[in-house]
A and B are shown apart, each in its own frame.
Chain A
């Protein structure tokens, strides 16, 4: 077994496009769940809105800037559609309503009657040329940028550059918001909405603001994933939202750096386990008991185990403060 190779592969993935997009999506979810206490189980709807919002105009030949604006607008519309009714409910109902909302959006996108616009179950491909026209890196078939195996092709590196830049900007924006009186107010809403109301805070409006901003971060992540691959409705499944939750909880919900560290660590663990399980099977550690095709499920089992251990031994995540978890409400 080549431990070095497994580790470098894992490192490469943990800074790759997917990890960056997860970090960006987790920043949004962290604002909603970590700081405002909104149980949004339909975060994937924002990603889908961003992806389709940018893909459809580009497919129709719109310029890139207009498509980007459309993607952001689509996510705001989705947030309002979900939030206006659901944020008036008690928060446990919000969780149910957002799961349903995310699924409804996905089913609409893949439905037959939406096919003229969304191309239904086939999805939209080959729309991102105008985004990659801006790519400053060389994209020849042999061009790789980086040190040894820790390197990326020019195309991925361009998406990564944009995505990590957005992650850094997003983190700074969230940090600024959270340190401000507005941030104090949304944390108060998370802690006790009745106390916040008794002090004159418009709880519904604050929740709506946080929900919408979080959705915009989700939409940006959705757009970048769409540029990197393509757009297909069955990518936007409910389970995706929970992976973003895992990333956020790993880093620490309600912390500024949690989403970044969580995304890097999550993808490092995921890829490292993948490499480890596969090569240990190839090396015959388990004799005839396991075959190579078992590697996929086993890494998920191990990852799940890791997350359970995290919740047991470090419920506040990597960056969270233990005392915050221990504080009682009464």
Chain B
């Protein structure tokens, strides 16, 4: 494993989040991203309404919540793929909510998509090279001529190292369209890393991936974080969240209802209620210990009833 090929800002001290209160809006020792009063409505439906959220630098933060909780909307708002109705988003203490999505990407926030977006008619290597930042030959006038070749060659080396790390090196010259679904997930992650982000945002990196490859992807995510890149990811697979995340943020119906370590969030009654009250079947949500699960199921025998409760909850909090 060659990590040297990827730009490492500085070797990361393991983030200490033990002193952080496990409550929505808790302030972190060294936030890379800070979201304030972020709000997005589609007509009468409020898709996301985040009061205050900090993301710790050099940590792996998981964003969980039932379907329709607004996780992807929050992703889209942060990365500029949707425009917020109001609110601000500070990245390294600079306002980014007024920037276009590609400008945000150049600032150092690179995202992946829930449904992979491999550039199918480009080769795997071209996919990687495309992502390299600050390319000399990407300016139209400079692209005529040969001056960009040196940079492209060194980028190729870097891309091959990354592909090697993600077990895609043998596919480098194939069209990305020939990759399987799981390989596309890997490619998208490798491509995002090629862009040398400070913050990488992964939207369901394990969706549609077999368990073995899933394990590998989790290892990659841990490596990425150890390499100095902050990770924020959305995931439904609770064991995976438990395995790698330093911090868990839970959203439901557009708002952040809980924050904390996995264990803390797993025992939070609001979280359990949000999951069990929603459309997610109980079996798929394996909360940290089975005891708390059985407790809540005793408390909430009627899923339909709890949905109404969580609706009230939202009004109280907002």
Given that A184-B129, A199-B130, A327-B177 are contacting pairs, would A192 and B144 also be in contact in the complex, using a CB cutoff of 8 Å?
Answer: no
CA distance A183 to B148 in the complex (A): 12
Q: B178 contacts A182, CB within 8 Å?
A: no
CA distance A203 to B81 in the complex (A): 13
Give the residues in chain A near B57, CB-CB below 8 Å: none
Contact with A along B173-201 (1 / 0, CB 8 A): 00101100000000000011001000000
Contact with B along A313-330 (1 / 0, CB 8 A): 000000000011001111
B81, B102, B106, B152: residue with the most chain A Cβ atoms closer than 10 Å? B102
Give the residues in chain A near B101, CB-CB below 8 Å: 197-198
CA distance A286 to B177 in the complex (A): 51
Give the residues in chain A near B110, CB-CB below 8 Å: 198-200
Given that A181-B148, A324-B175 are contacting pairs, would A197 and B120 also be in contact in the complex, using a CB cutoff of 8 Å?
Answer: no
Q: B131 contacts A187, CB within 8 Å?
A: no
Given that A173-B144, A184-B126, A323-B175 are contacting pairs, would A191 and B133 also be in contact in the complex, using a CB cutoff of 8 Å?
Answer: no
Q: A188 contacts B144, CB within 8 Å?
A: no
Q: A197 contacts B143, CB within 8 Å?
A: no
Band of interface residues on A: 20 to 34
For the complex, is A243 an interface residue (Cβ under 8 Å from B)?
no
A-B contact pairs, 21 of them (CB 8 A): A181-B135, A182-B143, A184-B130, A185-B138, A188-B119, A190-B121, A191-B119, A191-B122, A192-B118, A194-B81, A195-B113, A195-B117, A196-B130, A197-B81, A197-B101, A197-B102, A198-B81, A199-B110, A199-B131, A203-B102, A328-B120
B118, B121, B177: residue with the most chain A Cβ atoms closer than 10 Å? B121
CA distance A202 to B135 in the complex (A): 13
Give the residues in chain A near B139, CB-CB below 8 Å: 182
Give the residues in chain A near B230, CB-CB below 8 Å: none
Say how far A189's CB is from chain B's closest CB, in angstroms: 9
Other A-B contacts than A182-B137, A196-B130, A323-B178, 5 sampled, CB-CB below 8 A, are A185-B138, A197-B81, A198-B81, A199-B192, A201-B102
For the complex, is A142 an interface residue (Cβ under 8 Å from B)?
no
CA distance A301 to B59 in the complex (A): 67
Say how far A140's CB is from chain B's closest CB, in angstroms: 42
Give the residues in chain A near B143, CB-CB below 8 Å: 176-177, 180-183
CA distance A201 to B104 in the complex (A): 10
Q: A327 contacts B120, CB within 8 Å?
A: yes
For the complex, is A280 an interface residue (Cβ under 8 Å from B)?
no
CA distance A198 to B113 in the complex (A): 9
For the complex, is B44 an interface residue (Cβ under 8 Å from A)?
no
CA distance A74 to B152 in the complex (A): 36
Say how far B111's CB is from chain A's closest CB, in angstroms: 5
Contact with B along A155-184 (1 / 0, CB 8 A): 000000000000000000100110011111
Which chain A residues in 95-113 approach chain B with CB under 8 Å?
A: none
Say how far B73's CB is from chain A's closest CB, in angstroms: 15
Residue in B closest to A201 when the chains form the complex, CB atoms: B102
For the complex, is B255 an interface residue (Cβ under 8 Å from A)?
no
Given that A182-B140, A198-B113, A323-B175 are contacting pairs, would A187 and B122 also be in contact in the complex, using a CB cutoff of 8 Å?
Answer: yes
Say how far B315's CB is from chain A's closest CB, in angstroms: 34
Query: Which of B111, B112, B119, B138 sits near A181, CB closer than 8 Å?
Result: B138
Say how far A163's CB is from chain B's closest CB, in angstroms: 22
Q: B140 contacts A194, CB within 8 Å?
A: no
Q: B105 contacts A209, CB within 8 Å?
A: no
For the complex, is B115 an interface residue (Cβ under 8 Å from A)?
yes
Residue in A closest to B201 when the chains form the complex, CB atoms: A198
For the complex, is B79 an interface residue (Cβ under 8 Å from A)?
yes
Give the residues in chain A near B135, CB-CB below 8 Å: 181
Q: B148 contacts A180, CB within 8 Å?
A: yes
Give the residues in chain A near B175, CB-CB below 8 Å: 323-324, 327
Q: Which 3 A-B pairs have the closest CB atoms?
A: A327-B177, A180-B143, A182-B143
Contact with B along A204-244 (1 / 0, CB 8 A): 00000100010000000000000000000000000000000
Contact with B along A275-315 (1 / 0, CB 8 A): 00000000000000000000000000000000000000000
Residue in A closest to B112 when the chains form the complex, CB atoms: A198
Q: B137 contacts A181, CB within 8 Å?
A: yes
CA distance A190 to B148 in the complex (A): 22
Give the residues in chain B near A182, CB-CB below 8 Å: 137-140, 143
Residue in A closest to B145 when the chains form the complex, CB atoms: A176
Given that A181-B138, A327-B177 are contacting pairs, would A199 and B152 also be in contact in the complex, using a CB cutoff of 8 Å?
Answer: no
